[in-house]
Structure 1
Amino acid sequence: MPGHHGRALLAAATALLAALAGSLTGCGSPEKAATDDTGSSAPLKVGLVYSKTGPLASYGKQYLEGFKAGLDYATEGTNKVGKRPVEVTEADDAGDPAKAVSAAKDLIGQGFTVLAGSTASGVAVQVAPLAAQNQVLFISGPAATDAITGVNGNTFRSGRQTWQDIRTAASFLGDTAGKKVTVFAQDSAFGQANVTAVQTVLGGAGATVDKLLVPASATDLTPFASQVKAQAPNLLFVAWAGQTAQAMWTALGQQGVFDSTTVVTGLDITATWPTYGPVAQKVSFLSHYFAGAAGTEVEKAMTERVTKAGGTVDLFTVDGFTAAQMVVRAGGHDDVPGMIRSLEGWSFDGVKGTVTVRAEDHALLQPMFQVKLTGSATAPTATLVKKLDADAVAPPIAAKK
């Protein structure tokens, strides 16, 4: 699963409320929670800096479709917060941090007080400091990096983070203490990031974590699959990106790895599901989201709106929808400190269920999913195995930076 985190894995890896934040909290209809308390009619100017083009354009498209649906839902079709019209301007960063920073600076210079987007983690970590420096609100999107949580008081996120991914993977093991875990990945920045994340999360929970990193240029993957079989880990955590993914899965199957090991990876966008081929039903998937996963009324509302607009609900549609809910909530204030206070500690009915913005570090506490692929190898479908409560996968409170 991705963020900027690749095609096969969304990886490379509770709240004590302040009195004021507590008074603003409460589950229920998010659109009702987002009234304009200022009486202002000044437009709420929102800049979406995201991957309209580039390697993560498919993720960006899902995010945008979700955002539009979420804005319609949270404003009850008015596109207003109280008397304030919401004006959304899109900027394409193409997944390039330098382009994102330039676009963000331009929007800030035009008077935008709210920025959202960040399909890629490399983008998010560059835009976040700008939010604090210029006192604007930044709501990061699909970017999975844990570094965004707690980075500064102006930065929030509308998606999950790597820690939540890895804890979901660990749920397939049960008690991780004393278990053997191998991270199987390419020897790249992406692969190394996954090794670090698994060592931090599962190693910290008592597992012994080994790694098997494969040269990115390797095309014969049988020897590496054989090494995995010989190591016989309790859990094989696969983090793979690129065109050799199908060959890798085939090699694992041929070497009998699935017969003795629980193999876990992240469920990516629907278009990638046929990549797993004949072993699809043997893989255990951690999932941030897939269409139909949640079974909530909010999910139904999102799906209806996205479908009516000609889109298709997928992995990152929910991140855009959630971002719009947060923008509308914040838009009840015309000052950024007020926006921040309104979001800190807020619990609301999201697509995935009850979602909470943790006051201390702005982590987005949310359910996660265990999933299986079923049906034909060429057109598999996702089946929910288990929904994990937000508390079960919550990251530790990030230290103040």
Structure 2
Amino acid sequence: MSRSRSRSAAFAVTAAGLLAATAACGSPTASSGGGGGGGEEDGAPVQVGLVTSISGPLAAYGEQYLQGFEACLDHATDGTDEVAGRPIEIVERDDAGDPAKAVAEVTDLIGQGVQVIAGSASSGVATQVAPLAEQNDVLFISGPAATDAITGVNDNTFRSGRQTYQDVLTAQSFIGDPAGQTVLVFAQDSAFGQANVAAVTAVLGEAGGATVTPLLVPTSATDLTPFAAQARDAGADLTFVAWAGETAPAMWQAMGQQGVFDATSVVTGLDLRASYPTYGDQVAGQLNFLSHFFAEAVDNEVSQAMTERVEAAGGEVDIFTPDGCNAAQMVVRAVEEGGDDVAGMIGALEGWTFEGVKGELTIRAEDHALLQPMFQARLEQQGGEFVPVLVETLDAEATAPPVATP
């Protein structure tokens, strides 16, 4: 595998400018060197554009994704980094979590004839890149971006990670049938918090029959005790916490001091390993975690191969390493079966079931949702640090989102 990394400066793209730039790309199947068409017979490289967060607030997620991609491309090609006799040439671009920069980078890659784009740690990026994939008829495999909006958005777009609906269904597993139960969403009054309120309301409320109430905390709040007391007094059957940023330790401390864990079952998402200390000794043992992935949850041939390669390169397997691994497996499948024909690549991925890091995964043909196991977890103190422990594995059907319709 050859690898190049480009870090061009971000620049804004107006709607008119984007349309012009897209139109100037021409047909992505026309030969333009590198990853363009006509390379199957002469063994020309297949270019894959990895556009993700190498810098910016999601850089840690982007790095995990890249490590997983490289490890599993090596594994899936038996160490050759070649598919059907053609080298895989990786072109890395940094979107810095900025949708405008991502659009510019993807547009440039498409203009160079690249037919496969992958990456997207940011949901905002993914929703902007997906239409470009359809307009220019290229394959787009989104990464850790969790937004439900890209499932079923168009035929050209796939995902290599989980989506929010699967997170919420995993949270539901802690209380069983939600009908008639009460759910409190404790979150910051931000786009992130409001999106979680919307997702829980849709899944547990509208579809599940629970009564869902939001408790949105101003992002400027420094004294979180009154809000924690409100959460305690609400006495919900389930309290779903969606919180990000530097106030997390203070929030969890306030929840513990105010007895929230004695009044309700508290569930939150298990994030990357660096976040574990923020929960504190008092809180960690009382929290229920829904989990997309942690290394201790699985042990199979693919997870072992990925872990060996990531650690040999000086990395550590974390929450979004499998998303890169899945993407690499999908790229290999697409090129093996489709060559330079994007329609052939799409057909090869639709309905495909494969063994991934998390176990058996299926790309649902109808809307390209990635059906996959999800996990319940808890944190335990081991050797002076928090370690995630598997509570239960939920099979792919138990957390499958409804089929998305246009």
Scaled by the length of structure 2, the TM-score of the pair is: 0.88
* SS of residue in 2 equivalent to 1:126: helix
Instruction: In structure 2, give the amino acid aligned to 1:374.
Output: E
- Which AA in structure 1 matches 2:376? Q
* 3-state SS of 1:292 partner: helix
Match of 1:274 in 2: 277
**Corresponding residue number in structure 1 for 2:23:** none
State the identity as a percent.
66
1:291 to partner: Cα distance: 1.4
- What residue identity is the alignment partner of 2:97? G
Residues 287 and 370 of structure 1 are in contact (CA less than 8 Å); yes or no, is this contact kept in structure 2? Answer: yes
Give the Cα separation in 2 of the matches to 1:197 and 1:188.
Answer: 14
Alignment counterpart, residue 224 of structure 1, candidates 224, 227, 246 = 227
Structure 1 residues 218 and 342: CA distance shift in structure 2, 3 A: same
Work out which of the residue numbers 325, 334, 348 in structure 2 matches 1:321: 325
Matches within 5 A, 1:158-169: 158-169=160-171
Which has the greater radius of gyration?
A: 2
Q: CA deviation at 1:388?
A: 0.3
Q: Does 1:179 align with 2:189?
A: no
2:90 & 2:302 partners in 1: Cα distance? 22
Which letter does structure 2 place at the counterpart of 1:74? Answer: A
Partner of 1:7: none
The one of 367, 379, 395 aligned to 2:373: 367
- Is 1:128–2:130 an aligned residue pair? yes
Which residue, 214, 218, 243 being the options, matches 1:215? 218
Question: Shift of residue 40 of structure 1?
Answer: 5.8
SS at match of 2:96: coil
2:300 and 2:327 map into 1 onto residues whose CA distance is 18
Q: Distance in 1 between matches of 2:117 and 2:384?
A: 39
Look up the SS of the partner of 2:87 in the other structure: strand
Paired amino acid for 1:59: Y
Question: Aligned partners of 1:155, 1:65: CA distance in 2, in Å?
Answer: 22
**Secondary structure at 1:375 match in 2:** strand
Shift of 1:243: 1.1
| C-alpha contact 1:54 1:94 (8 A) present in aligned 2 | yes
Q: Post-superposition, which runs of at least 4 consecutive aligned residues in structure 1 deviate over 3 A? A: none
Q: What secondary structure, in the 3-state scheme, does the structure 1 residue paired with 2:318 have?
A: coil
Q: Which residue of 2 aligns with 1:31?
A: none
DSSP 3-state at the match of 1:106: helix
Residues 296 and 389, structure 2, Cα contact 8 Å, conserved in 1? no
The one-character-per-residue Cα deviations of 1:222-259 (angstroms, maximum 9, x if unpaired) are: 11111111110000000001111111111111111111
Q: CA deviation at 1:377?
A: 10
Aligned to 1:70: 72
Structure 2 CA distance, aligned partners of 1:100 and 1:337? 24
What is the aligned counterpart of 1:261 among 256, 259, 264? 264
Query: Paired residue for 2:200, among 198, 205, 215?
Result: 198
Q: Which amino acid aligns with 1:224?
A: F
Q: What is the number of residues matched between the two proteins?
A: 363
Q: Is contact 1:40-1:83 (8 Å) kept?
A: no
Q: How far off its partner does 1:376 sit?
A: 5.9
- Does residue 350 (structure 1) correspond to residue 350 (structure 2)? The answer is no
- Superposed, 1:236-255 pairs within 5 Å as 236-255=239-258
d(CA) in 1 for partners of 2:298 and 2:381? 20
Tell me by how many angstroms 1:292 deviates. Answer: 2.3
Residue of structure 2 equivalent to 1:144:
146
1:335 aligns with 2:337: no
When structure 1 is superposed on structure 2, of 42-51 and 366-375 the one drifting more is 42-51
Partner residue, 2:29: none
- The separation in 2 between residues aligned to 1:393 and 1:40, in whole angstroms, is 44
Choose the corresponding residue for 2:393, options 366, 387, 390.
387
The Cα shift of 1:57 comes to: 0.4
Aligned partner of 1:13 in structure 2 is none
For 2:199 and 2:62, how far apart are their aligned partners in 1? 24
- Answering whether residue 309 of structure 2 is matched by residue 305 of structure 1, we say yes
Matched letter for residue 52 of structure 2: Y
Tell me the distance in 2 between the aligned counterparts of 1:105 and 1:391.
Answer: 36
1:59-117 per-residue CA deviation (whole Å, 9 max, x = no partner) reads 00100000000100111111111111111100000000000000000000001000000
- Report the AA paired with residue 311 of structure 2: T
Of 107, 111, 114 in structure 2, the residue corresponding to residue 112 of structure 1 is 114
Q: Residue 103 of structure 2: SS of its match in structure 1?
A: helix
Tell me which of the two structures has the higher relative contact order, counting C-alpha pairs closer than 8 angstroms and 6 or more residues apart: 1
Does the alignment pair 1:295 with 2:299?
Answer: yes
- For 2:347 and 2:44, how far apart are their aligned partners in 1? 20
Q: TM-score, normalised by structure 1?
A: 0.89
Cα displacement (A) at 1:395: 0.2
How far off is 1:260 after superposition? 2.2
Give the SS at the match of 2:186.
Answer: strand
In 2, Cα distance between the equivalents of 1:240 and 1:337? 40
